[in-house]
A and B are shown apart, each in its own frame.
Chain A
Amino acid sequence: MTSIWEVIDRAETGTYMEETDFDLKIVAKKCKELVKEYDIRYDPKQIITSDDSLADDVFEAGLRLALESGIYCIDTKRVVKFEEYELKEGIISAPRRLIIGQNKDSRILYARGIEDERSPIICGGQAGAAIPEEWYLPMAISYMKEPLVDMINNGGLAVVEGRKVRTKTPLEIQATRRELSMLREAARRAGRPGISFIAAESSVSAMGDLAIASERYMRRTDSHLVALLNELKTDFDRISKVVNFYEYGAHNVTLVDPIIGGYAGGPEGVAVCFVASFLLGRAMYGSDFHVCHPIHFRYMSTSAPECMWNLNIVGQAMARNAPFIIMGDVWTSAGAGSEMVFYETAANTITNVVTGSHPLGVSATNGKYPHATGLETRFMAEVAHAAVRSKLNRKSANAIVVELAKRYADKQGKPDIGKPFPELYDVGRVIPKPEWNATYLKMKKEISEMTGLEF
């Protein structure tokens, strides 16, 4: 594996290039060429594909993109390139199994396969959201007290003790430490003291991240996300985060979120870009696992059909050719309190577990509003386990997902954003209020009947 120090050297000595040239002449151009050369096509009727050769083509195209493009370092305007043997070393050495969390709350996080019959790991929380400090603790407990939730990735704090947190100011340190302190407290109160976190979401720059590399806050069995910037870019803030956890010994996780409609092009180009990003993320950040988060240029949601197709084809491409541990995001347009959130969650979750990733969510309203609770994450977990128990294959899963998507696809522009956490949960006892619970039961019954899944 290429060392992080070698990566930093290359960020300072690689080919100099203007960023727009990298965006247009490298990423956009190559994605377009590779999609054409490999004849990769998105078919909205095949959100979950059964064509192995398509998955292999996406992988091969992605590997070529990774080799030809490299990663652009914004700070130095230089391109960090890797040789083929370095990317392949990254594949060979990537963990297939990791122990996350501690003691009774530890879990084995593993590289899922296609139509994998093992129980998926459920990562719960409203990842990516700014959650009000006064609800943070009960909201975190609402996820941790769900027995099917194996690990946590909740949002960050934008206000601490009444002060608005501004990026790259001292308050970023306070917010990140407070986030971790509250997650620890929530874990104790929920009787899950060893549950594993993906956390430090309040650390936008490296500042907060540096401040929590301590067992008091972030344990070595926990993880943080290090994004690849759109598309195929990084900067010294991201690399600082990597260096911090590299020496501290907790897990670096690549967050990859290419935009459908952006520089990589449409769904097909984004799929190619995803594979390249995972391979480069592993080589550059030494990431132990990866988060797959296709972004729809308008709706954001991973539940948009084009995004689910990406989760599907990228999951399969990686599972067949480079079995990394991948968590697939479940980000819905709708919020907790709505009926729509259940359709989106079911479709997105089935797609993930059948095609090689573990579900991570539910980040309701795409994290825009703190309209999220543990209950829709319980539903996500139930769907995930039911899909596996039913031995759902890709063909049957596709039929279900296409039908589910019809229930919400035309509403993603104007979704029902639901209600804030305190309106849906009894905050003291941390249980769903009767009305929200009734909606959950109704939708669970309806979706179970519609899909034939028993949960």
Chain B
Amino acid sequence: MSEAQLFEELANAVYAGDDAKAVELSKKILEAGIEPLKAINEGLMKGMSRVGDDFSQLKIYLPEVMLAAEAMKSALAVLEPEALKRGKATVKSKVVIATITGDIHDIGKNIVAMLMRANGFEVYDLGRDVPIDELIKKAEEVKADFICASTLLSTSMPYMEDLISLLKERGIREKYLVMVGGGPVTREWAASIGADGYGDDGDEAVKVAKELLQRRGAP
């Protein structure tokens, strides 16, 4: 199988959420002496990009996106250590994301997390009803680029303001790009509390995150 064919097969395995196949192909790629970073970019990322596109058009649904993300994770576990050894590891932007205090609705947040993963971000999903100090603690621990908070409840929106206030209070506001979203959250409100970004939906969240990174001059 040629390099291009292997990459195509790898992309297909990710798209199909086929863990075992993705791992098997990743091993084959290494055995063939192919550059792992190239396999990540032209195989895994290509597959996930197709997943993201098809999900946007409702050709596939959240479970397929989750399975694809799992397959990518398994393949990365094979390819990434080798890329690191060669000093060519991908530098990924890190995202800490959660449904904020008081809210247990997490599907919207899960969709954003999946789409961010699909677009190459390293995502730490803390789950739901997460206190703001836990979000900050995790962001500090992993040296995150983004803190993303979601809610479906207007009565949990004030906790997003609290998040930004606490970052300021601790003198670390500038370290992070803060993005907010969810059912009742509006663009105008996000701007009013001093968030860096907002997305109407998962696609926009990813787009905005990339733009924010570009503006910041990050990887």
Query: What residues of chain A have their CB less than 8 Å away from a CB belonging to chain B?
Result: 23-24, 28-29, 32, 74, 129-130, 156, 158, 164-168, 172, 175, 202, 204-205, 229-230, 235, 237, 259-266, 269, 297-298, 300, 306, 366-369
Contact = CB atoms under 8 A, between A and B. Distances in A.
Q: Give the residue among B103, B153, B186 with the most A Cβ atoms within 10 A.
A: B153
A261 B58 contact: yes
B155 A165 contact: yes
- 6 shortest A-B CB distances, which residue pairs? A167-B102, A130-B154, A28-B63, A158-B154, A164-B158, A167-B155
Contact of A24 (B55, B66, B157): B66
A32 B56 CA distance: 19
Contacts of B66: 24
Given A259-B107, A261-B62, A204 B155 contact: yes
Given A166-B155, A202-B155, A297-B58, A368 B184 contact: yes
A262 B109 CA distance: 12
B105 A166 contact: no
B104 interface: yes
Given A158-B155, A204-B153, A266 B61 contact: yes
Q: Give the residue among A24, A166, A235, A263 with the most B Cβ atoms within 10 A.
A: A166
B67 interface: yes
Report whether over half of chain B's contact residues are helix, strand or loop; otherwise say mixed: helix
Interface string B13-24: 000000000000
Given A24-B66, A368-B183, A166 B102 contact: yes
Contact of B156 (A167, A175, A266, A298): A167
B155 A367 contact: no
A317 to B, nearest CB: 21
B159 to A, nearest CB: 6
Contact of B111 (A164, A266, A297, A369): A297
A263 B158 CA distance: 29
B201 interface: yes
Q: Give the residue among A74, A130, A167, A175 with the most B Cβ atoms within 10 A.
A: A167
Nearest to B161: A164
Interface string B84-127: 00000000000000000111110100010000000000000000
Contacts of B102: 166-168, 204-205
Interface size class of B (residues with CB under 8 A): 20 to 34
27 contacts: A24-B63, A28-B61, A130-B155, A156-B154, A158-B154, A158-B155, A164-B158, A165-B158, A166-B102, A166-B159, A167-B155, A202-B155, A204-B153, A230-B107, A259-B107, A260-B58, A261-B55, A262-B62, A263-B61, A269-B61, A297-B58, A297-B111, A297-B201, A298-B56, A368-B183, A368-B186, A369-B186
A166 B156 contact: yes
A266 B58 contact: yes
B48 to A, nearest CB: 17
Contacts of A175: 155
Contacts of B61: 28, 261-266, 269
Contacts of A24: 63, 66-67
Contacts of A269: 61
A204 B155 CA distance: 8
Given A300-B183, A366-B183, A368-B186, A263 B63 contact: yes
Q: Give the residue among B102, B103, B105, B154 with the most A Cβ atoms within 10 A.
A: B154
B217 to A, nearest CB: 30
B181 to A, nearest CB: 12
A129 to B, nearest CB: 8
A273 to B, nearest CB: 12
Given A262-B61, A262-B107, A369-B186, 10 more contacts: A158-B154, A164-B158, A205-B102, A261-B62, A262-B62, A263-B62, A263-B107, A297-B58, A297-B62, A298-B201
Contacts of A28: 61-63
B198 to A, nearest CB: 12
A367 B158 CA distance: 17
A122 B103 CA distance: 30
Q: Give the residue among B155, B161, B203 with the most A Cβ atoms within 10 A.
A: B155
A367 B182 CA distance: 12
A316 B211 CA distance: 46
A29 B67 CA distance: 12
Contacts of A260: 58
B158 A229 contact: no
Contact of B63 (A130, A168, A172, A265): A265
A260 B203 CA distance: 16
Interface in B42-64: 55-56, 58, 61-63
